[in-house]
Structure 1
Amino acid sequence: MAINMHVPPLTSLLGRLRLRQLSLAVAVEELGSLRKAADRIGISQPAATKMLAELEAALGLPLFERGRRGMVPTVYGRALNRHAHLVISDVGALRDELAGLASGAAGRLAVGMITAAAAGPLSIAIAQLKQRRPRLDITITVETSDVLIPMLEQGRLDVVIGRPVQTDHGQDIVFTPIGPERLSIVCGAQNPLRTRPDLSLCDLAEAAWILQPRSSPLRQVVDASFREAGMETPANVVETASILTAATLLQHSGMIAVVPHSVALHYVSSGMMAILPVMLTRQLDPYGALTRKTRAAMPALSELMALIPCEPDP
Structure 2
Amino acid sequence: MTPHTKHLKAFHAVARLGSMNKAAVELLRAHSAVAHSIQQLEQGLSQVLFERAARGMLLTEAGRILNRRVEFALQEMEAARAELDDIYLAQGLQPRNAPIFALAVNERRLAALVALAEQKHMGAVAQQLDISQPAVSMAVRDLEDSIGLALFDRSGTLWQPTAAGETLINHLKRAMSQLRLANAELAAMNGQVSGQVIVGALPFGRPYILPAAISRLHRKHPGLQFTTLEAPLKTLSYALWCGDIDFILGALSPTELYPDLIQENLFNDRMGVIARAGHPLGERPGLSLADTLSADWVLPRAGTPPRQLLGAAFAALNLPVPAATVESSDLSVIRGLLLESDMVTAASSHLFHHEISTGALQRLPIEMAELRRSVGILRRTPEHSSPGAQLLIEEIRLMRGMPTGSTLSAAPDS
Q: Which residue of 2 is the match for residue 75 of structure 1? A: 163
1:312 aligns with 2:410: yes
Q: Provide the C-alpha distance between the structure 2 equivalents of 1:238 and 1:127, rounded to a whole number of angstroms.
A: 32
1:231 aligns with 2:320: yes
Instruction: Name which of 257, 265, 275 aligns with 2:363.
Output: 275
Structure 1 SS opposite 2:324 = coil
Change (3 A) 1:7 1:142: same
Q: Could you report, residue by residue, the CA deviation over 1:69-112 in whole angstroms, capped at 9, with x for unpaired residues? A: 73322222223333344455555566677789999673333334
Q: Compute the RMSD of aligned alpha carbons.
A: 3.9
Q: Which has the higher contact order (CA 8 A, sep 6+)?
A: 1
Which amino acid counterpart does residue 249 of structure 1 have in structure 2? Answer: L
Structure 2 SS opposite 1:194 = helix
Change (3 A) 1:14 1:123: same
Instruction: Name which of 155, 158, 166 aligns with 2:243.
Output: 155
Percentage of matched positions with identical amino acids: 25
Q: Which residue of 2 is the match for residue 32 of structure 1? A: 120
The 8 Å contact of residues 202 and 233 in structure 2, kept in 1 or not, is answered as: yes
Q: Provide the C-alpha distance between the structure 1 equivalents of 2:341 and 2:190, rounded to a whole number of angstroms.
A: 53
1:286 aligns with 2:374: yes
Instruction: Name which of 338, 350, 354 aligns with 1:262.
Output: 350
Q: Which residue of 1 is the match for residue 263 of structure 2? A: 175
Compare 248-257 and 223-232 and name the one that shifted more.
223-232
1:191 aligns with 2:284: no
Q: Provide the C-alpha distance between the structure 2 equivalents of 1:201 and 1:62, rounded to a whole number of angstroms.
A: 58
Which amino acid counterpart does residue 75 of structure 1 have in structure 2? Answer: A
1:104-115 equivalence runs, <5 A: 106-115=194-203
Q: Provide the C-alpha distance between the structure 2 equivalents of 1:48 and 1:116, rounded to a whole number of angstroms.
A: 40
Q: Provide the C-alpha distance between the structure 2 equivalents of 1:178 and 1:189, rounded to a whole number of angstroms.
A: 30
The 8 Å contact of residues 181 and 284 in structure 1, kept in 2 or not, is answered as: yes
The 8 Å contact of residues 38 and 45 in structure 1, kept in 2 or not, is answered as: yes
Q: Provide the C-alpha distance between the structure 2 equivalents of 1:50 and 1:168, rounded to a whole number of angstroms.
A: 39
Which amino acid counterpart does residue 163 of structure 2 have in structure 1? Answer: V
Which amino acid counterpart does residue 325 of structure 2 have in structure 1? Answer: N
Deviation of residue 16 (structure 1)?
Answer: 4.7
The 8 Å contact of residues 213 and 241 in structure 1, kept in 2 or not, is answered as: no
The 8 Å contact of residues 13 and 59 in structure 1, kept in 2 or not, is answered as: no
Which amino acid counterpart does residue 201 of structure 1 have in structure 2? Answer: L
Which amino acid counterpart does residue 258 of structure 1 have in structure 2? Answer: A
Which amino acid counterpart does residue 235 of structure 1 have in structure 2? Answer: A
Q: Provide the C-alpha distance between the structure 2 equivalents of 1:170 and 1:288, rounded to a whole number of angstroms.
A: 16
Q: Could you report, residue by residue, the CA deviation over 1:218-239 in whole angstroms, capped at 9, with x for unpaired residues? A: 3342344345545345132230
In the alignment, structure 1 segments of 5+ residues that lack a partner are none
The 8 Å contact of residues 111 and 158 in structure 1, kept in 2 or not, is answered as: yes
Which amino acid counterpart does residue 107 of structure 2 have in structure 1? Answer: L
In the alignment, structure 2 segments of 5+ residues that lack a partner are 1-87, 401-408
1:240 aligns with 2:329: yes
1:44-193 equivalence runs, <5 A: 44-67=132-155, 70-88=158-176, 91=179, 106-119=194-207, 123-140=211-228, 145-146=233-234, 148-165=236-253, 170-193=258-281
Deviation of residue 258 (structure 1)?
Answer: 1.9
Which amino acid counterpart does residue 327 of structure 2 have in structure 1? Answer: V
TM-score by length of 1: 0.77
Which amino acid counterpart does residue 330 of structure 2 have in structure 1? Answer: A
The 8 Å contact of residues 115 and 143 in structure 1, kept in 2 or not, is answered as: no
Counting matched residue pairs gives 312
Deviation of residue 140 (structure 1)?
Answer: 4.4
The 8 Å contact of residues 266 and 411 in structure 2, kept in 1 or not, is answered as: no
Change (3 A) 1:312 1:12: closer
Q: Provide the C-alpha distance between the structure 2 equivalents of 1:34 and 1:262, rounded to a whole number of angstroms.
A: 43
Q: Provide the C-alpha distance between the structure 1 equivalents of 2:382 and 2:155, rounded to a whole number of angstroms.
A: 34
Deviation of residue 50 (structure 1)?
Answer: 3.4
| Structure number with larger C-alpha Rg | 2
Q: Provide the C-alpha distance between the structure 1 equivalents of 2:285 and 2:205, rounded to a whole number of angstroms.
A: 29
Q: Provide the C-alpha distance between the structure 2 equivalents of 1:127 and 1:41, rounded to a whole number of angstroms.
A: 32
Compare 151-160 and 223-232 and name the one that shifted more.
223-232
TM-score by length of 2: 0.61
Deviation of residue 215 (structure 1)?
Answer: 6.7
Which amino acid counterpart does residue 248 of structure 1 have in structure 2? Answer: G
The structure whose residues are more often helix, as a share, is: 2
